[in-house]
Amino acid sequence: MYTYSEFDEAFVRTRVAQFRRQVERRLDGSLTEDEFKPLRLMNGLYLQLHAYMLRVAIPYGTLNARKMRQLAMIAERWDKGYGHFTTRQNIQFNWPKLKDVPDILDALADVGMHAIQTSGNTIRNVTADHFAGAAADEVTDPRPVAELIRQWSTDHPEFQFLPRKFKLAVTGAAQDRAVTAAHDIGLRLVEQDGVTGARVLVGGGLGRTPMLAKVIREFVPLPDLLPYLEAIVAVYNLLGRRDNKYKARIKITVHETGIDEIRRLVEEEFAARKPLFSGIDQTHLAAITAQFAPPAFDKGGPEDYQTWRHADPVFRAFTDTNVTAHRHPDYAILTVSLKAHGTTPGDATARQMRALADLAEHYGHDELRISHEQNVILPHVPKRHLKAVHAALAAEGLATANVGLISDIIACPGMDYCALATARSIPIAQEIATRFEALKIEHEIGELKIKISGCINACGHHHVGHIGILGLERNGVENYQITLGGDGTETAVIGDRAGPGFGADEIIPAVERLVQAYLDLRADPGERFLDTYRRVGIAPFKAALYTAEEAANAA
Amino acid sequence: MPRPFTPKVLTANDLILGDVVYMTADGGWTRRHAEAELIEDAATADLKLLDAEARGHEVVGAYLADAVAGLRGPEPVHFREAFRTRGPSNYRHGKQETV
């Protein structure tokens, strides 16, 4: 876990002090909203439908108990007792009062956190594989590189007014859990001849023009990484369109310019910038890496883990879905679902946050992660403690055994909160989860990722959902479009649009018809929805969606 | 021929709380949609909007939203505006807590 240096501390405190004065000047009338808005956005403060919203960065999704408890304190003291974890590993507070925000930012600084660059046309919070440092399939922990990028990009003078926002994600594992292909820059850390470096992807993004990132360089050795990233962002800063907001992201720049020409320009820029890097970034990276040293794994052995699994079907179901293989044989990565059936995806109460902090401290080497799938992870839990952890989670309503299943839905805040939304997302997620819980078939269905966005900007990643749902407005009512076959992993695919959308009261039955079609079509219970879709194509699913509907209408 | 004017209310968010507010006939702010002034002509609407924009020390993001006359006062037309009169649907937070 990285601890703020004196420099980080001084920078964040200075920024809070500046913002405190800016809020005072806004409240006493010296600043107009036009003048104040860019200042508040620089510090993560939005105005939404019903209230202000503060978006706090959780760099590479990593927290410890102290930070989590501070988030709980903020939720209770200045908000309504809960927080919302987002698809970009941020936490959003939905009800802060403008006058309280400087105090909230100071409270964040107390634990080495901030809300800087969680908005605006800058490099945003750097995200990473939520199993970093723990996954069995990992080549190298992506977090030191992510932290280096956080420091490099924070207040980077050249990149404060980019054509549009800019998002980076880093993974160090074979399995891509960080959706790197849907980021402006995606980094996949790899080893080549004993040297660690990055496969660099550029120009990915969802939103109104979804595109998968393209490989710009197969291998950039770590010592070259910052100058190479700087070269990419510098090229984009000059070429990126500022005449049209919808064409301003780097995905459009890459698309219009062509990846080969972008590559040439970046190499040229890289050659010019590389000599300006003295190597101090590498000294610094080494110091950061030391702070992410793996915990001292205990030697307790798994004890009765398998016996418990055998004896207790509830515990078995929980560990079947929520446990992932750890690099240490006697450890588990435990995903705590924030998707209890019928609740709001990604929301945690202050009490739940404290319970998670306690568990991390007592059983999990003081580490917590937030996933882009809006769950919380205890990355290092000895298997012999899993029974106790499960019991503690159950007492707090946090033991839902549904990770990766149909009710583990990603949903953006949608029109329940967001000023940009065109329809609600949360109630659709709640209804799908409740419906399939009632049917008692989600374990039989197996892995199925539903992702819901309440507008075309796609914060809910609907394009890469196995079933994606996009909420729009049609003729004055909410309408939901379905995409099928999307995939956000290392085999990333943008989903196909199924056809005309469905009304709010038609969308749950439509999803049910899709699932029924899948159960009828799958070769065997081991064939996932996505695999079946890839094998049989869209036609039978379209038939299930629309033919049945037409028949019902005709009846 | 110009399109006939659709009645409107003037709405914004309170500067400090962020809560949704509506302009009343006497130029004050109310938290209840039904207490808003239903503006029936374009000229008045333009003037009210200018007035609201000049009151940036009270409210943020003023705009005109379609509304219709109801039994107890103006009612929202678009579902987005209906949501703004209540609060989110996942918790009883916002206006629905108290109003």
Examine the domain organization and report whether A267 and A166 are in the same domain.
yes
CA nearest to B95 within chain A: A50
Q: Do A33 and B61 touch (CB under 8 A)?
A: yes
Cβ neighbours for A288, distance < 8 A, ≥ 6 positions apart:
A2, A144, A147, A148
Stretch (H or E) spanning A93: strand A90-93
Q: Do A50 and B80 touch (CB under 8 A)?
A: no
pLDDT greater than 60 at residue A555: no
Please report the pLDDT score of residue A505 as a whole number: 97
Domains identified in chain A, total number: 4
Please report the pLDDT score of residue A1 as a whole number: 86
Find the CB nearest A50 among B60, B61, B84. B84
Please report the pLDDT score of residue A434 as a whole number: 98
Examine the domain organization and report whether A202 and A268 are in the same domain.
yes
B6 in contact with A, Cβ within 8 Å:
no
User: For residue range A319-373, what is the model confidence (pLDDT) as tens digits?
Assistant: 999 999 999 999 999 999 999 999 999 999 999 999 999 999 999 999 999 999 9
pLDDT greater than 80 at residue A552: no
Q: Do A478 and B79 touch (CB under 8 A)?
A: yes
Q: Do B83 and A49 touch (CB under 8 A)?
A: yes
pLDDT greater than 90 at residue B21: yes
- DSSP result, B31-91: S-GGGS--B-SHHHHHHHHHHHHTTTTTEEEEEEEEEEEETTEEEESSHHHHHHHH--SSS
**CA of B84, closest CA in chain A: separation in Å?**
6
pLDDT grade for A256, boundaries at 50, 70 and 90: very high
Examine the domain organization and report whether A383 and A434 are in the same domain.
no
Find the CB nearest A426 among B17, B78, B90. B90
User: What value of ipTM does the predicted structure carry?
Assistant: 0.96
Q: Is residue A320 part of a domain?
A: yes
User: For residue range B35-62, what is the model confidence (pLDDT) as tens digits?
Assistant: 999 999 999 999 999 999 999 999 999 9
Q: Is residue A252 part of a domain?
A: yes
Q: Is residue A444 part of a domain?
A: yes
Please report the pLDDT score of residue A397 as a whole number: 97
Please report the pLDDT score of residue A550 as a whole number: 67
Examine the domain organization and report whether A327 and A186 are in the same domain.
no
d(CA A330, CA A451): 33
Question: By residue range, what is the domain housing residue A326?
Answer: 306-395
User: For residue range A184-237, what is the model confidence (pLDDT) as tens digits?
Assistant: 999 999 999 999 999 999 999 999 999 999 999 999 999 999 999 999 999 999
Please report the pLDDT score of residue A553 as a whole number: 62
Q: Do B88 and A417 touch (CB under 8 A)?
A: yes
Q: Is residue A422 part of a domain?
A: yes
With pLDDT > 70 as the criterion, what percentage of chain A qualifies? 99
Alpha-helix runs per DSSP H in A2-130: 6-27, 33-42, 65-78, 101-110
Q: Is residue A133 part of a domain?
A: no
pLDDT greater than 60 at residue A554: no
Examine the domain organization and report whether A373 and A490 are in the same domain.
no
Task: List the single best residue of A49, A84, A93, A341 to mutate versus B (max B Cβ within 10 A).
Answer: A49
Find the CB nearest A416 among B18, B61, B90. B90
Give the number of other Cβ atoms within 10 Å of residue B82's Cβ.
12
Please report the pLDDT score of residue A115 as a whole number: 98
- Per-domain boundaries in chain B: 8-97
Cα-Cα-Cα-Cα dihedral sign, residues A40, A45, A46, A51? negative
pLDDT grade for B99, boundaries at 50, 70 and 90: low
Cβ neighbours for A106, distance < 8 A, ≥ 6 positions apart:
A13, A16
pLDDT grade for B98, boundaries at 50, 70 and 90: confident
Q: Do B90 and A476 touch (CB under 8 A)?
A: no
Examine the domain organization and report whether A311 and A230 are in the same domain.
no
What mean pLDDT comes out for the span A66-91?
Answer: 98
pLDDT greater than 80 at residue A146: yes
Q: Do B95 and A50 touch (CB under 8 A)?
A: yes
Instruction: Kindly provide the residue ranges of all beta strands, DSSP E only, lying in A387-493, ordered along the sequence.
Output: 410-411, 450-453, 467-474, 477-484
Please report the pLDDT score of residue A501 as a whole number: 98
User: For residue range A450-507, what is the model confidence (pLDDT) as tens digits?
Assistant: 999 999 999 999 999 999 999 999 999 999 999 999 999 999 999 999 999 999 999 9
Examine the domain organization and report whether A223 and A357 are in the same domain.
no
> Which CATH number is A82's domain given?
3.90.480.20
pLDDT greater than 80 at residue A69: yes
Examine the domain organization and report whether A377 and A415 are in the same domain.
no
User: For residue range A261-295, what is the model confidence (pLDDT) as tens digits?
Assistant: 999 999 999 999 999 999 999 999 999 999 999 99
pLDDT greater than 80 at residue B1: no
What mean pLDDT comes out for the span A81-96?
Answer: 98
What mean pLDDT comes out for the span A535-545?
Answer: 97
Please report the pLDDT score of residue A551 as a whole number: 62
B77: which chain A residues are within 8 Å (Cβ-Cβ)?
476
Please report the pLDDT score of residue A86 as a whole number: 97
pLDDT greater than 90 at residue A43: yes
B84: which chain A residues are within 8 Å (Cβ-Cβ)?
49-50
Residue A494 has what DSSP assignment?
P
Examine the domain organization and report whether A438 and A335 are in the same domain.
no
Examine the domain organization and report whether A181 and A267 are in the same domain.
yes
CA nearest to A29 within chain B: B57
B53 in contact with A, Cβ within 8 Å:
no
Instruction: Write down which residue in A64, A89, A110 finishes a domain.
Output: A110
Examine the domain organization and report whether A158 and A234 are in the same domain.
yes
Average pLDDT, chain A: 96
- DSSP result, A308-364: HHHH-HHHHHHHHHHEEEBSSTTEEEEEEPS--TTS-TTEEEHHHHHHHHHHHHHHS
B60 in contact with A, Cβ within 8 Å:
yes
Find the CB nearest A99 among B16, B20, B78. B16
Please report the pLDDT score of residue A547 as a whole number: 84
Examine the domain organization and report whether A437 and A539 are in the same domain.
yes
